[in-house]
Structure 1
Amino acid sequence: MEKLTQYPEKNSLEQFFNQYKEATVKWHAGYKRTCEVIQNDREISDETLALIWYKRDNYVSSLKQGAPSQEEFNKAKSSLRDLTLRIKANPTASMYIEAQQFMQDAKSKQLLKKNYKALLNRAFSAIVPQVCISTVDEGCLIKALTYLNQRFDLGLSLKGNWFELNLAYTTALKKHLPENYDYLLANMATWRVYEDINANRLGNNIQENRPTLEPFFTASNENTMSPLNQILYGPPGTGKTYHTMESAVKAAEPTFTWTNRDELKAEYVRLVGDKRIRFVTFHQSYGYEEFVEGLSAKTEGNQIAYYEKDGIFKTISEDADKYRVTKTVESDRDFDSLWAKFLTELSQKENGIRVNTIRTFFIVTDVDNNTIRFEKDKGDSTHSLSVKTLKAVFNDEREIKGGLNPYYSSLIKHLSAYSNQTDTVHIDRKNFVLIIDEINRGNISKIFGELITLIEPSKRKGAEEEIELVLPYSGDTFSVPDNVHIIGTMNTADRSLAMMDTALRRRFDFIEMMPKPELFNNKQIKGIDLTRLLATLNKRIEALYDREHTLGHAFLFPAYNEPDEDKAFELLKAAFKNKIIPLLEEYFYDDWNKIRLVLGDNQKSDELRFVEEHNEPYDSLFGSNHGLETYEESKTRYTLMSFVGENSVWNNPQAYIAVYASIK
């Protein structure tokens, strides 16, 4: 690494930081005063709250336009005070994640106009300056830490979110600085290091070793909070389904980082195996019964039995609700733990489990689709109970009167026998993700029903405006937990964004994914510039149709990724034959004149054209006495040049180059 051009070489980190003392005297005094005020104010007065969350410059960090207005601050004051007290009581990595969620929810509830990420980081810096330094921008922090890590061998991995980076850094500083070294000076010196790097006063030989993705995986690998509801939308071939893997992992495990696609995929597979990520595709016949709940029929002996069947969204919501908050529970008081032990025993008993009632007994034979099937001691007919009703009775949320009461109460008494196997279980909050592919192909009103209101962040379970309702088939009360993320994909070639259900559009964050020809970095295959080729095709499609029907970069990925040029050219040819041409035919409804314009054939010489034009005189088709009232004497028709044969135009690289060569 190059030596300092302004400062003399320092052999130790202490010496290096000390050179910033004189330049930070005034800042140090204000910084120290701010931190002391916050630490000594146990109740967090309005003045202290404003110092943390409103003032543009509080000597910890200057936010300029990155702070809320007076109106926003007053509106969110109560919630911000509560968050501040929680951070002071528990300044940990998990609290940082909760605080990020708070800021996102505050935006959703319109308490704040933006998700003020730097503001949140500054709050942590002011409240716990021993852990979090004053460099509140993550990019700036990484740049400074990269330099210090390389120069002084701090042993940092530079992985994790902003808080985790700070925690690792301040922990490393304790090993490299004297025991009583002024941590505020270290914090300020780190920012000065960033400024010196930008001004090239420390040399420019800095290699950032922050984990990066392969070239085409363009979505961010930073630990930003994922929206509860989001839709990735764009034309075909822009990587929407491909990128749902990243979005789902980031939503389920916000602190997870990766260095390549294989690591990301392994984490995705693990989360799918744990049923924390689930996948469904909407289609025209998909409905409420499959998504939320409905009735299903099953033949048992000579009888048809009907039972309630939960849909994928209700199932994942109920599973997520168990992990909505971090808690410790006693298994003998928890229905799910006792029920799990009952099911384990049932799986080991070939003849079922005998449950005694006051006068007789019944045999539980199996449990399926939340239905408990049992046989009485007399008779050969099969009867059923509801697992959900059993749980509601167990939790004193429902009272059963009538003929089924003895069976429910006896089964609950049987479950209590497992309480002598008491376990203390610690449950951490976990996020769950439902991926809905082709969300625009379904009838949203039919599928979501009343849940279109419940998925709104401000109406989720745990929110201030929480709403729960009674489901029509089961009669269960239901609300959507705030740890269920919904990620949809939408192909704009199938339906315009403007045609989407208005209620759905209002409740989802829409993330546009458009073609990115620049990803090919002007790579050439037999002289064919992939960037210019795709860009030109899309400019013409947009002019003749619209931008929502352009061609995605994924169509040319196979050719780009193939190192052998001959094979790459064959893959390019296959992309045109099997993907691009059929899609153009669909877009323009066999209007071959427009297709030839997209391919640039009207600007090519005859031997380079992909579409051949034929003029057929009406007289040659029908004779001179045809009686047709036409404005022209001939009919123009088009045929696609054959892909077969060595002399096929599709085998000529110049034909592809000519698609864009005439465009300046």
Structure 2
Amino acid sequence: MNELLQLNGRPIYKISMGRFNSTAPGRKLLTEFRKRDWLVVDKFCPDNQGELFMTGIQTGDYVYACAGSLQLWGIYRVQSDWADLPADLADQITDSKNWIYRQAELIAAPIREDVTSLSKQLSWWAPSGYRTVALVNNLARANTDIFEPYFNLRLVSDTNTQVDSNWLSARFPNPNIILYGPPGTGKTRSTLELAYEILMGQPAPSYMAAQQLFQQELGKRLDFVTFHQSFTYEDFVQGFRPKVINGQMVFEKSDGVFYRIAERARREWESHQELDPEEFPQADADFIHTSPVVHADYSGSSVPFETVFQEFIAPLASPGGVITLPMKTPGYEFPVLSVDSKYITFRRGTHGHENKVQIALIRGLYEGTRELTPSGPQVYYVYIVERLQELAHTHQGANGAASIPATTAVSDQGDAAQLPSPSPAATSASSSATTPRNYVLIIDEINRANIARVFGELITLLEKDKRLGGANTLPVTLPSGEEGFTVPANLYLIGTMNTADRSLALLDIALRRRFEFRPLYPRYDLFAGMPDNRGAVLQKLNGEIVRLKSRDFQIGHAYFLDPKESLGSIFNGKVIPLLYEYFLNDEPKVQALLQAAGVSAHIDASVGLRYGSSSSIR
């Protein structure tokens, strides 16, 4: 039985020091680092990885360290801030002296150090992933691939998942959010931090951690889109696009960014829900709770998957052909509707929702290389696999071969006893089966598109109670003819809106009613220790802008936060051009505003207003 390591809400990161593996002196350094319990990284490691190591990882956070994809060191708890590597060690690194370290405490040593077998696991947080510093953002997968087999540990993020769920509900009572405010107030940055909270169930430990999670989950549990004036319903939801095939123009159905992530979220949601008791008898609801795990321990059939699968889908080749599979309770069945290159589409009962299951998963269950604890729609996977095994049994019987072993308990009597006990990993998956993971779609500049045209009927479906899992779930038929489309409860939308943008008038009233609006305005508490007294300068400037226009046209703090950039550069390159736009190129009015705010400016005959007095540049 694997032991548990409670992270108590702390994140865990990967630190890879494989750079040193390539030379004998480097391997000697690795031995020294490991002896001292030092985690060592180049402070200028690209993609903000050095910054994540220095300021993103907090004292008390967890790290699993490895020497690249060759050797595991252990699981550590970070104990100190970063410091430069001592000269006697740094001098041994020929290419750079920018190496830094953090002291750490060894929490768990691996029972196996060699991880070369994970060479095909390329998630950034894996030992062979292409990152030096990475957040482990998929703890369930990391437990299965790394911590259970190599440490005999299962890591648990928090001791009380219900607290996290309550916190998330209080933090996000509405799954649709719009961050609004003037330019430069950190709206886009804040979307990444909010996405981290939604996906991980806890505040982001740093902006770098939020950035990395965004990069890792993009196209999976998170998508990003920027609206513009030409954006359409076909881009967002679904439509038909022209395509040339063999010299002929045809129209092919194309799924938009919202449809794709909604489908991923819906499959996640339905895979964690119980069957509808009004649609299915209690006998099959009981089956969910009593059926054993479909195990990788099952040896599989000697009949190739392709053979039985082609026989299984043969009825679909006929016009209107449907495969009907009987369920456990007499008189109840469900149809398999279609098969494409990746998915089997079936309906939950006679009148239920359509669901898809990957053929690769069915193959793995059939061949015994995958395991599954049936829950919700996953119950139907069992019936599909059972039909394949029946076909295989027929083939084996015809050839005089031994019949295949039982794999799932679909009869009313003790078939479950024929199966091995669930593995700890499978038990863990079962215990969390009622909590679907969340998904996030970020819509930047949401008010720049024609909202009514882009969202269409989704305006209604976005409401919390109209979503799949809500009190008044509302399925609709899409213009493409697809029936029963719903927006799942575990899909969150985060939009940004620039209040100084003249396209604000395009924001549909229906959208205003369905989104929670969170304001982001200039912050002046971020300028402590900054040069040029720039926080006070910005505050006075914004006071004049509010007096002449409104608070929605202020200048955001983000323009002033780089301490290496001078006030002259900020005003000439960012602020003054923005003020010209605000005041419709009324140069005397812009100059008067700057003077009233105490900002020295002069008119250059070549380019217009410039920061500073004319005499100061001679």
| Bigger RCO (CA 8 Å, 6+ sep) | 2
* Larger helix share, 1 or 2: 1
Normalised by the length of structure 2, the TM-score is 0.49
